Amino acid sequence: MSATRKRDLVSIDDLTNAEIEGLFTLADEMAADRKAVRDLARGLILVTLFYEPSTRTRLSFEAAMLRLGGSYQSCPNMDDTSAAKGESLADTLRVVGRYGDVVVLRHPREGASRVAARYSPVPIVNAGDGGREHPTQTLIDLYTIARDKRKLDGLCVAFTGDLRYGRTVHSLAYALARFGADIVCLPAKGLELPHHVVRRLETDFGCFPVKLTPADLKGAFEKTEGLLLTAGRPFQPDLFSNAERRSAIQRRLAHVDVLYVTRVQKERLKGEAVGDLPVIDLALLSENRFRNALVLHPLPRVNEIACEVDDDPRARYFTQVERGVPVRMAILAHVLGLKDLVVVEKSAKRRAAPPLYRSDVGLHCPSPGCITATELGYLTPEFHVLERRPLRLRCAFCDFLVEPRWVASRHERVFHRFDSPHSAKIHLENLVIFGSVDEAKRAGFEPADLAEIER
């Protein structure tokens, strides 16, 4: 990040691996000598804006700011603010960004923090946006793993619970993949990792997904529809016979380094049926594969981990809480430009963003949780173009993956299938994309070839 650019933290991808390691070194310093930093943020104000309930994130950010010598302003209940009168998120951030020096935002919609970062004059820190990401929780989780296991590369991290709506899972999975850890998904039925997250782990971070069988998982998670996402491609079918491959996978699953447990995010369910999972208790943790596994949970827990586990040395969830304050002190010091990160740039280059498609006409993000579903009045739909053939786009706000089939040129009034010879010739700056034939017709476009519609 340049010294002059506003330092928002809306995604774990806003930090390179080397910057994350630099933040951890800063967090170590904050924990080791609180007196040395007690005046660092004197005169500065943190605003905590939470549209959803929170205990840890809000209070630990406020504690972190107080320990840095700064102060904070908060809205205990967003229903008592002008958000309840219909004030847009953009206007709210334009306003509170003129009171404080940094804003920590939690919002129920995916991509809200990206919108906030565009309109706020001061840095935005994402404290969880819908089911998308929770990057500061990820930094705490990653810090706990890195300090307890002394490495991240090559670890085997199992996620269980709600992998669909659990935002902490998504940002932690991206970070672990970047650091070269393997990921094992053990979701409750109906709460599997979303397709767009799995695809991103494959395409952006080089993970290779392998479906797990009851024989791979035998034990408490035997009935789970498990998925192994390996960093790199060690279990490609063409490298192994089937039997060799299964035996290599089972060897990989024999030593779980971290068991990351999450609660079902009931507040995000839309009436879907959800399966049960085993409670994490001492009997389950007596399985050989968990003998050295740290048990992490972002909390709050709602019966996923039996209280008898709390005194086991593998239980690290209250250590995560404790480490949250120095990690968030380091985050605040960084985004406020109060401390430079000591960054040893190994191979950690920031990836170039794919080209952007932006249009008021045509495609809108179809994800119901996307911030554009409620704030579209002043936002133009935007997508990163991952591929032209097949046409694959990622919503620039909520990261949802869209595979539309219809395109047109801005200079014509006819539309084509994305894979027609004509479509390939339309330059990105002239492209209009449609999510459906009806959407194209409503926008005043006609099919170039009726037979294409029936295809």
Q: Is 250 in the site for ligand CP (CB under 6 A)?
A: no
**Shortest spacing between CB 299 and ligand CP, in angstroms:** 5
Give the footprint of ligand CP on residues 116-135 (CB under 6 A).
128
Interacting span for ligand CP (CB under 6 A) from 16-24, 31-39, 200-208, 292-300: 292-300
User: Residue 54 Cβ, how far from ligand CP at the closest point, in Å?
Assistant: 3
d(CA 422, CA 180): 41
**Pairing of the two strands 71-74 and 45-50:** parallel
| Rounded Cα gap, residues 210 and 249, in angstroms | 9
Smaller CB separation from ligand CP, 103 or 228: 103
Give 229 or 299: the residue with its C-beta nearer to ligand CP. Answer: 299
Q: Which is nearer to ligand CP, 79 or 238 (CB)?
A: 79
Residue 134 C-beta: closest distance to ligand CP, Å:
6
Residue with smaller CB distance to ligand CP, 55 or 236: 55
CB of 174 or CB of 434, closer to ligand CP: 174
Residue 414 structure tokens? 């006819």
Which of 39, 55, 151, 275 touches ligand CP by CB under 6 A?
55
First vs last C-alpha separation in the chain: 48
Q: Give the DSSP per-residue string, 11-36.
A: SGGGS-HHHHHHHHHHHHHHHH-SGG
Query: Can residue 54 be called a binding residue for ligand CP (CB under 6 A)?
Result: yes
Quickly tell me which residue has 């209280």 as its tokens: 307
CB 113 within 8 A of CB 335: no
SS3 at position 400: coil
Closest CA to 284 of 316, 244, 256: 256
Q: Could you tell me how many residues of this chain bind ligand CP (CB under 6 A)?
A: 9
Applying CB under 6 A, which of residues 97, 131, 135, 298 lies at the interface with ligand CP?
298
- Residue whose CB is less far from ligand CP, 141 or 192: 141
Of the two residues 296 and 365, which places its CB atom closer to ligand CP in the complex?
296
Among positions 142, 163, 299, 370, the unique one binding ligand CP when judged by CB under 6 A: 299
Min dist CB 159 to ligand CP, Å, is: 15
How far apart are the C-alpha atoms of 285 and 160, rounded to whole Å? Answer: 14
Collapsed DSSP state (helix, strand, coil) of residue 383: strand
| Contact region with ligand CP (CB under 6 A), list: 24-32, 297-305, 359-367, 377-385 | 297-305
430 binds ligand CP (CB under 6 A): no
Chain Cα centroid distance, residue 220: 28
CB of 127 to ligand CP, least distance (A): 7
Provide the angle, in degrees to the nearest 10, between the axes of the packed helices 317-335 and 135-149: 120
What residues between 356 and 375 interact with ligand CP by CB under 6 A?
A: none
**Is residue 136 a contact partner of residue 9, using CB atoms and an 8 Å limit?**
yes
Q: Which stretch binds ligand CP (CB under 6 A): 152-160, 296-304, 359-367, 432-440?
A: 296-304
Q: Point out which residues pair with 47 in neighbouring strands.
A: 73, 103
Give 86-107 as a DSSP string: T--HHHHHHHHTTT-SEEEEEE
Determine which residue in the list 11, 17, 48, 57 makes contact with ligand CP, applying CB under 6 A: 57
User: What are 234's two structure tokens?
Assistant: 């060690």
What length is written for the chain?
455
Q: Which residues contact 246 (CB under 8 A, 6 or more apart)?
A: 213, 215, 216
Stretch of 5-13, 234-242, 294-302, 343-351 lying at the interface with ligand CP (CB under 6 A) = 294-302
Written as six digits, the tokens of 208 are: 């290779």
Cα(268)–Cα(398) distance, integer angstroms: 15
* Residue among 56, 109, 323, 405 that touches ligand CP (CB under 6 A): 56
Q: Is the CB of 226 or the CB of 324 nearer to ligand CP? A: 324
Comparison of 55 and 292: residue with beta carbon closer to ligand CP: 55
- Contact between 137 and ligand CP by CB under 6 A: the answer reads yes
Site residues for ligand CP per CB under 6 A: 54-57, 128, 137, 298-300
